[in-house]
Amino acid sequence: MAERIVLNTDIRKGTINRNIYGHFAEHLGRCIYEGIWVGEDSPIPNTKGIRNDVVEALKEMKIPVLRWPGGCFADEYHWKDGIGPSEERKRMINTHWGGAVENNHFGTHEFMRLCAMLECEPYINGNVGSGTVQEMSEWVEYLTFNGVSPMAELRQKNGQEEAWSVAYFGVGNENWGCGGNMRPEYYADLYRQYQTYVRNYGDNKIHRIACGANSDDYNWTEVLMREATRFMDSLTLHYYTLPTSDWTNKGAATGYGTDEYFNTLKKALFMDELVTRHSVIMDKYDPDKRVGLIVDEWGTWYDVEPGTNPGFLYQQNTIRDALVAGLTLNIFHKHSDRVRMANIAQTVNVLQAVILTEGEKMLLTPTYHVFNMYKIHQDAELLDLTVDSPLYSYEGVEIPEVSASASVTAEGVIHVSLCNLNHAAPAVLPLELRGLAGQSAAVSGTTLAGSSIDAHNTFGQPEAVVPQPFTAFQLEGDTLTVELPPMSVTVLAITPG
């Protein structure tokens, strides 16, 4: 078969939910504390304790939804510890993550303020593993009830007169592991019980999210869908990409060789199979696709940076991460009939972060640039596209060299996102633009490429990897031939007419 991309500009396949571009911020390492929250007395410029530089960068990237407070932390978090005068809030040890002191200065009010500043939807994850039905139900009442009630009064006493609006609420996290080591049958029953008391107050309609599977645990999805489909609006999936198969020796974030680079991309591509197979199970119980699949933790997971707290999960971010982000987002687009939200782990200073900070300094990672370049796909209509990709091989193993996806905006501008995974060679291939009915097209592009296999930004050189104009294309008739640089993520804008 000829190597090419065929784009049917006149075949639309549904909306790409903007929430696929969601993020996840946990009380873990320096994500919340320092990365987002510095406190009002900090010399770092802030608004009511929240860093201005980070808010500005996340807004620019159009962050649509933010998941909080965990992760594993969610099933140890007792929300009442994080309300009221901050100097009176409990100090405790974050036993799960690095033994850091948790002073609870960032709690419900601060999170809701952060979401308001970011103009994004809050996605709150409740505690099933070590919390009670009453605790969860009261959190929802505190957040969303406007009438006369003990929790509404408590919220008002703490300075928030009006109830907030909260669309997304998760009932437990990783309850097959850190959230209680439960069997799916047991969790399914608990889910049914807990969600009963996650009430809709007034106009606030909560999208109830059940804890889903770890990676390829298809039995978990089967049991949850069999036992609880009618009680949920979405089911989650967690999948992390490691360069190796050994959690005690995952591989470094920088300074790796071609083998780890290649293996990471190969393992990231596995997301397609995972989403496909979990969706097949969901289709069996929910053929109308009412229930969404939310991939609320995904991204790369490496060994921590040398000399940092192993429990803080701080890692650098290179062009390899940019490619993982680009190809994964392309996969989510393809499955946007079922995947309604995804949350990369985690927003700042933890795992595949879009932002790193060091005191008052902040840098944008290659992953940030991909999210910023791809934001034009948010809420756009997915277009029909097929890739017959050249193969990228390493030591006898082959993967597709090119990943691609396309969408069209309400204004009719077509965007094509293209990743060339090959670390050594450009990818040259024709992109056939079908369905333009003889119209010509204006084309422009932006690319993010690596000059070395672990190209990354540092606080000394924060702009080593940044998007550049892309001009290596030629349009003849309805065929656009592109030459994608090695290790690159490119977005084309095609305006017909």
* Interface ranges with ligand AHR (CB under 6 A): 26, 70-72, 173-174, 297, 345-346, 351
* Candidates 174, 227, 381, 401; catalytic one: 174
User: Which residue shows structure tokens 């996102």?
Assistant: 417
The nearer residue to ligand AHR, 181 or 479, going by C-beta atoms, is 181
Q: Minimum distance between the CB of residue 29 and ligand AHR, rounded to whole angstroms?
A: 9
What sign for the dihedral angle of Cα 273, 275, 279, 282?
positive
The nearer residue to ligand AHR, 142 or 240, going by C-beta atoms, is 240
- CA 492 from chain centre, in angstroms, equals 22
Structure tokens at 373: 């370049």
Q: Residue with the closest Cβ to ligand AHR?
A: 71
Structure tokens at 351: 């795992």
The nearer residue to ligand AHR, 72 or 489, going by C-beta atoms, is 72
Strand residues in 352-394 grouped as ranges (E): 355-358, 361-364, 381-388, 391-394
Contact 331, 275 (CB under 8 A): yes
Residue 43: CB atoms within 10 A of its CB come to 8
- What's the rounded Cα separation, in Å, for the pair 462 and 77? 35
- What's the rounded Cα separation, in Å, for the pair 28 and 26? 5
Q: Minimum distance between the CB of residue 190 and ligand AHR, rounded to whole angstroms?
A: 17
Q: Minimum distance between the CB of residue 102 and ligand AHR, rounded to whole angstroms?
A: 14
Q: Minimum distance between the CB of residue 342 and ligand AHR, rounded to whole angstroms?
A: 14
Active-site annotation holds for 297:
yes
For residue 15, report the phi and psi dihedrals to the nearest 5 degrees: -85, 140
- Provide the b/e sequence for 60-91 (b: ≥16 CB within 10 Å): ebbbbbbbbbbbbbbbbbebbebbbebeebee
- What's the rounded Cα separation, in Å, for the pair 315 and 300? 9
The nearer residue to ligand AHR, 27 or 208, going by C-beta atoms, is 27
The nearer residue to ligand AHR, 206 or 351, going by C-beta atoms, is 351
Q: Minimum distance between the CB of residue 350 and ligand AHR, rounded to whole angstroms?
A: 7
* Candidates 121, 297, 381, 401; catalytic one: 297
Active-site annotation holds for 174:
yes
Tell me the catalytic residues: 174, 297
